[in-house]
């Protein structure tokens, strides 16, 4: 026992010594035009990898900072960044006040954390798109996928109105890792709707990494990473309490939303609470209705933190999302006349994190994080009045992250850590044949576990007077997959008489262990060709260990059966990306060309006239580009546009890959009307997709137009009132997305939608 006491005493002594050798930095940030305080400004000391955010009164502070010369960087979307060179001594606390000047275009100053450290976008070599708070707040969308749709290189996959996901550069679902505040939602599975289990009212921003990032996030990140950042508070110089109420209505589905957000903080703690309720009827489509597409859901979340010492922060997060009576429009794999719903679908997340800051001259930060997430789904399919099919499953993920941030020199920053997580699946499928009084219980996937332990390093070097930035990343993963002994059907009950196990099982899986070991790596380069003009290059080796569903699935659709394969090898890939970044005060360009090469692709291979099994047989090449341009051509008038193209081929069979979006993009104009409101008029287009796989259907091209209007805040006493309104698909265009056919059906996209949203804040 004595040795443990000594360790505790030594630990707190180090903390106290560290605190004693440091001083504080604080200040106030204002709008240069109005002189009003600016909240939510990101303040970074990059040399120490420290980040804080200004509170509602525009105040910010760093508790304790070691002596030395540093850069203090202030950035906020919609404002020009300000950098201050400071000298910190051990005797004098610093007060640095700044005023930020507004800008009408994105200047790459937004802070992202998907690289596991806080960096502004224009300093990151890898291609990242950011959906900011303003964009999310102004839209009346159903899911997080919806608000990502107009990012270049990102396309929406819709399964009705509620269940959505995204495709990034031709890759989706299994090849994209989805995160909430750095916690995995699902891990590269083929289950739709994961992004629908997130309260959009609680989302602060969405970071979209385009390209392989297995070196930081391990298996599955072969196509990209989507990191959804929720509302989180920050400490303040003095106690404050604020909140907001918002309500919206959408005509396309009579959708109604009500949400409340409350925030409070002091010097040593902060807390944030959000609750939302929504309901919607069937979605209207041009000339009709998309039957069985309504939904009801609700959610609440809490996040908070305390600072027991100046250099220690403890964070706690809890999120609960529940959906009921969610319609799944009819079609394959069940008859179009069938009625299918999610009677219940839910996601529950608990996360705790402790961060030790500035422990030594080289160890900048030490972070330990644990999270637990449960996703439950229950589906009810009624093909006809005689049969009911009910698949249901629980997906539980436990994760642990240990990360250290090192400042090896003024121009060398290293991240090293251990990332471990386990996903557990428990589920079954019950088929009830009413006339025969028969109940058949099966397991579409055996009860199983997928565990991963990864060791990662990420080194960032600034060379040649910061004109050249080099990122080097490496990771090694140990993966273990286990499943229980399973025979299908598991049980048959006829007129109350149970037979377990039934004779002549159709699909059997012995208890099995699979062990995969794999490494991944990346090299990223950013070169400042001229002031505010950068060239980037990235290359990465990525991998994906097949999911539980791919290894063990048993899907019996009557006329055809799909089987998994426990012996699948991991998919392996190489990605290459070359980019141009222009960050001028009136003009910005972000453009990337890419090539992705894959080996051992997992596909469904036909083994008989009526059965398919997962196999490693494919090689693939995806080549394309995506770009975004903004031009502030007059006063506050901004014209913007995006474009994206990808060509995907199975190079072994010389066939086009399925689920590849056609050439697409958008063109828009944003401008103010006096000092009352802003208008955003845009057109989105998708070209005809005739480069299709053998079993796909050619999709015609289309264009639709949107109009968005938002008022400036109107102050009435202690309240600020803001109104958002608009029309989506102004001309009620009838069209279908090439990607919304993965269940074998063609769903017409929503028709004209007139919406309004009112927000009250104080």
Question: Can you give the CATH number for the domain in which 19 is found?
Answer: 2.60.40.1120
Q: Are 272 and 259 in contact (CB under 8 A)?
A: no
Whole-angstrom distance, CA of residue 261 vs CA of residue 675:
27
What's the pLDDT tens digit per position in 367-412?
999 999 999 989 898 888 889 989 999 999 999 999 999 999 888 9
Q: What is the pLDDT of residue 8?
A: 43
What's the structural domain count of the chain? 2
Provide mean pLDDT across the span 741-761. Answer: 84
Q: Are 461 and 409 in contact (CB under 8 A)?
A: no
DSSP one-letter code for 749 = P
Distance from the first to the final alpha carbon of the chain: 53
142 Cβ neighbours under 8 A, 6+ residues apart: 161, 162, 164, 196, 200, 255, 280
Which residues make beta-bridge pairs with 478? 453, 517
DSSP one-letter code for 502 = P
pLDDT at 744 over 80: no
- For the ranges 143-147, 162-166, 668-672, 699-703, which has the lowest average pLDDT? 162-166
Final residue of a structural domain among 43, 72, 102: 102
Token digits of residue 272: 């944030």
Token digits of residue 443: 């397991």
Provide mean pLDDT across the span 519-540. Answer: 94
Q: What is the pLDDT of residue 115?
A: 86
Of 662 and 65, the one with more pLDDT: 662
- For the ranges 258-272, 593-607, 621-635, which has the lowest average pLDDT? 593-607
481 exposed, middle or buried (CB, 10 Å; 0-12, 13-18, 19+)?
Answer: buried
Between the CA atoms of 489, 490, 493 and 499, what dihedral angle is there, to the nearest 10 degrees? Answer: 110
Whole-angstrom distance, CA of residue 46 vs CA of residue 49:
5
Whole-angstrom distance, CA of residue 580 vs CA of residue 595:
16
On whether both 517 and 371 belong to a single domain, the answer is yes
Q: What is the pLDDT of residue 98?
A: 93
Q: Is residue 366 part of a domain?
A: yes
752 Cβ neighbours under 8 A, 6+ residues apart: 251, 252, 284, 286, 727, 728, 729, 730, 731, 732
Q: What percent of the chain has pLDDT over 70?
A: 93
Q: Is residue 666 part of a domain?
A: yes
Q: Mark out the alpha helices in 456-560 (DSSP H runs).
A: 548-552
Pairing of strands 111-112, 119-120: antiparallel
On whether both 476 and 612 belong to a single domain, the answer is yes
- For the ranges 11-20, 265-274, 290-299, 454-463, which has the lowest average pLDDT? 11-20
Pairing of strands 753-761, 719-728: antiparallel
Q: Are 231 and 147 in contact (CB under 8 A)?
A: no
Q: What is the pLDDT of residue 10?
A: 43
Q: What is the pLDDT of residue 556?
A: 67
Q: Cβ atoms within 10 A of the Cβ of 744, count?
A: 11
Omega before 489 within 30 of 0, i.e. cis: yes
Provide the domain limits for residue 1.
Answer: 1-102
Whole-angstrom distance, CA of residue 48 vs CA of residue 117:
11
Separation of CA 582 from chain center: 26
User: CATH number of the domain that 233 lies in?
Assistant: 2.40.170.20
Whole-angstrom distance, CA of residue 599 vs CA of residue 595:
14
pLDDT at 223 over 50: yes
Q: Cβ atoms within 10 A of the Cβ of 363, count?
A: 15
- What is the pTM assigned to this prediction? 0.91
Q: Are 26 and 62 in contact (CB under 8 A)?
A: yes
Q: Are 514 and 493 in contact (CB under 8 A)?
A: no
Q: Is residue 118 part of a domain?
A: no
Q: pLDDT-based confidence at 134, cuts 50/70/90?
A: confident
Q: Are 256 and 278 in contact (CB under 8 A)?
A: yes
pLDDT at 16 over 50: no
645 exposed, middle or buried (CB, 10 Å; 0-12, 13-18, 19+)?
Answer: buried
Phi, psi of 260 (to 5 degrees): -130, 140
Q: Nearest CA to 246 among 319, 137, 161? A: 137
Q: pLDDT-based confidence at 745, cuts 50/70/90?
A: low
Q: Are 84 and 119 in contact (CB under 8 A)?
A: no
Q: What is the pLDDT of residue 458?
A: 95
Q: Residue written as tokens 């360790």?
A: 7
Q: What is the DSSP string of 533-548?
A: EEEEEEEEEEEEPPPH
Q: Is residue 749 part of a domain?
A: yes
Q: What is the pLDDT of residue 485?
A: 87
Residue 85 DSSP SS3 = strand
Final residue of a structural domain among 87, 102, 117: 102
611 Cβ neighbours under 8 A, 6+ residues apart: 560, 561, 562, 563
Separation of CA 339 from chain center: 30
Mean confidence (pLDDT) of the chain: 88
Q: Residue written as tokens 């259907």?
A: 697
Q: Is 98 left (phi over 0), alpha (psi -120 to 50) or beta?
A: beta
Q: Is residue 688 part of a domain?
A: yes
Residue 481 DSSP SS3 = strand
Rg (the chain; Cα; Å): 26
- For the ranges 17-21, 478-482, 600-604, 655-659, which has the lowest average pLDDT? 17-21
Of 126 and 4, the one with more pLDDT: 126
pLDDT at 753 over 50: yes
On whether both 96 and 237 belong to a single domain, the answer is no
Q: Are 296 and 346 in contact (CB under 8 A)?
A: no
Whole-angstrom distance, CA of residue 75 vs CA of residue 43:
7
Beta strands in 116-184 (DSSP E): 119-120, 128-131, 154-159, 163-168, 171-172, 176-180, 183-184
pLDDT at 241 over 60: yes
DSSP one-letter code for 478 = E
Q: Give the HSE-up count for residue 338: Cα atoms under 13 Å, Cβ half-sphere.
A: 20
Pairing of strands 22-31, 98-100: parallel
Q: Are 102 and 79 in contact (CB under 8 A)?
A: yes
Q: pLDDT-based confidence at 83, cuts 50/70/90?
A: confident
Q: Is 57 left (phi over 0), alpha (psi -120 to 50) or beta?
A: alpha
Final residue of a structural domain among 102, 128, 148: 102
Q: What is the pLDDT of residue 18?
A: 43
pLDDT at 333 over 70: no
CA distances from 240 to 258, 331, 399, 428 (A): 24, 52, 34, 49
Beta strands across the sheet bearing 203-210: 128-131, 203-210, 224-230, 176-180, 183-184
Q: What is the pLDDT of residue 163?
A: 82
Q: Is residue 170 part of a domain?
A: no
- For the ranges 173-187, 329-343, 506-520, which has the lowest average pLDDT? 329-343
Whole-angstrom distance, CA of residue 468 vs CA of residue 122:
13
622 Cβ neighbours under 8 A, 6+ residues apart: 169, 170, 171, 594, 595, 596, 598, 646, 647, 648, 649, 657, 660
Token digits of residue 97: 């006040």
Q: Is residue 744 part of a domain?
A: yes
66 Cβ neighbours under 8 A, 6+ residues apart: 21, 22, 48, 88, 358, 361
Q: Is residue 486 part of a domain?
A: yes
Whole-angstrom distance, CA of residue 311 vs CA of residue 309:
5
pLDDT at 479 over 90: yes
DSSP one-letter code for 122 = G
Provide mean pLDDT across the span 77-89. Answer: 86
Q: Residue written as tokens 């109940």?
A: 439
Omega before 501 within 30 of 0, i.e. cis: yes
pLDDT at 17 over 50: no
Q: What is the pLDDT of residue 684?
A: 97
Whole-angstrom distance, CA of residue 662 vs CA of residue 691:
8
Token digits of residue 559: 């006329």
Omega before 333 within 30 of 0, i.e. cis: yes
- For the ranges 5-14, 237-246, 323-332, 626-635, which has the lowest average pLDDT? 5-14
Of 2 and 480, the one with more pLDDT: 480
């Amino acid at each position: 026992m004595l040795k443990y006491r000594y360790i505790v005493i030594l630990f707190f002594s180090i903390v106290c010594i560290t605190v004693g050798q440091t001083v504080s930095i604080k200040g106030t940030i204002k709008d240069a035009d109005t002189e009003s305080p600016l909240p939510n400004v990101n303040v970074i000391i990059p040399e120490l990898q420290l980040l804080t955010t200004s509170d509602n009164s525009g105040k910010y502070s760093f508790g304790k900072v070691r002596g030395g010369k540093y850069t203090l960087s202030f950035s906020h979307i919609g404002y020009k960044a300000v950098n201050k060179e400071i000298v910190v001594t051990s005797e004098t606390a610093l007060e640095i006040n700044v005023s930020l000047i507004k800008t009408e275009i994105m200047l790459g100053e937004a802070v992202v954390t998907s690289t596991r450290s806080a960096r502004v976008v224009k300093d990151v070599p890898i291609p990242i798109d950011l959906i900011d708070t303003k964009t999310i707040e102004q839209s009346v969308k159903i899911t997080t996928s919806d608000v990502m749709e107009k990012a270049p290189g990102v396309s929406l996959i819709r399964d009705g109105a509620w269940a959505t996901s995204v495709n990034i550069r031709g890759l989706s679902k299994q090849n994209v890792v989805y995160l909430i505040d750095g916690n995995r939602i699902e891990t590269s599975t083929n289950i739709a709707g994961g992004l629908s289990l997130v309260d959009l009212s609680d989302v602060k921003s969405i970071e979209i990494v385009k390209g392989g990032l297995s070196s930081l996030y391990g298996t599955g990140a072969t196509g990209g990473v989507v990191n959804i950042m929720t509302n989180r508070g920050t400490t303040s110089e003095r106690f404050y309490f604020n909140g907001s109420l918002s309500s919206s209505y959408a005509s396309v589905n009579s959708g109604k939303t009500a949400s409340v957000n409350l925030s409070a903080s002091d010097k040593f703690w902060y807390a944030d609470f959000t609750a939302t309720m929504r309901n919607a009827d069937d979605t209207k489509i041009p000339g009709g209705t998309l039957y069985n597409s309504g939904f009801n859901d609700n959610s609440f979340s809490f996040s908070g933190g305390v600072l027991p010492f100046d250099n220690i922060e403890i964070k706690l997060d809890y999120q609960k999302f529940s959906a009921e009576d969610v319609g799944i429009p009819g079609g394959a794999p069940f008859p179009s006349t069938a009625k299918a719903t999610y009677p219940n679908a839910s996601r529950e997340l608990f996360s705790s994190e402790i961060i030790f800051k500035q422990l030594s001259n080289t160890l900048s930060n030490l972070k330990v994080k644990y999270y637990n997430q449960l996703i439950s789904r229950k589906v009810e399919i009624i093909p006809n009045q005689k049969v009911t099919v009910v698949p249901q499953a629980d997906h539980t993920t436990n994760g642990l992250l240990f990360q250290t941030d090192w400042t090896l020199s003024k121009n060398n920053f290293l991240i090293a850590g251990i990332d471990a997580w386990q996903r557990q699946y428990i589920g079954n499928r019950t088929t009830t044949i009413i006339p025969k009084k028969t109940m058949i219980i099966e397991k579409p996937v055996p009860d199983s576990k997928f565990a991963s332990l990864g060791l990662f390093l990420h080194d960032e070097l600034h060379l040649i007077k910061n004109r050249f930035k080099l990122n080097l990343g490496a990771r090694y993963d140990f993966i273990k997959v286990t499943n229980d002994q399973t025979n299908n059907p598991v049980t048959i009950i006829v007129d109350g008489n149970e037979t377990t196990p039934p004779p002549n099982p159709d699909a059997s899986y012995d208890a099995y262990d699979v062990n995969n070991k794999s490494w991944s790596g990346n090299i990223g380069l950013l070169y400042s060709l001229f002031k505010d003009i950068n060239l980037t290059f990235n290359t990465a080796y990525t991998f994906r260990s097949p999911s539980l569903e791919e290894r063990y699935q048993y899907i019996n659709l009557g006329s055809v059966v799909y089987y998994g394969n426990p012996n699948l090898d991991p998919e392996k890939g190489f990605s290459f990306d070359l980019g141009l970044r222009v960050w001028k005060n009136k003009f910005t360009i972000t453009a990337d060309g890419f090539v992705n090469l894959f080996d051992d692709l997992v596909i469904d291979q036909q083994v008989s006239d009526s059965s398919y099994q997962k196999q490693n047989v494919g090689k693939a090449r995806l080549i394309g580009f995506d770009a975004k341009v903004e031009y502030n051509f007059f006063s506050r008038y901004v014209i913007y546009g995006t474009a994206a193209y990808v060509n995907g081929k199975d190079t072994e069979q010389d066939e086009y890959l399925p689920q590849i979006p056609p050439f697409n993009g958008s063109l828009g104009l944003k401008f103010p009307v006096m000092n009352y409101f802003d208008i955003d008029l845009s057109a989105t287009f998708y070209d005809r997709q005739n480069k299709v796989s053998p079993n796909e259907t050619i999709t015609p091209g289309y264009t639709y137009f949107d109009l968005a209007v938002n008022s400036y805040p109107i102050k009435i006493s202690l309240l600020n009132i803001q109104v958002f309104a608009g029309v989506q698909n102004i001309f009620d265009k009838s069209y279908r997305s090439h990607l919304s056919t993965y269940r074998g059906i063609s769903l017409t996209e929503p028709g004209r939608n007139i919406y309004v949203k009112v927000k009250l804040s104080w």
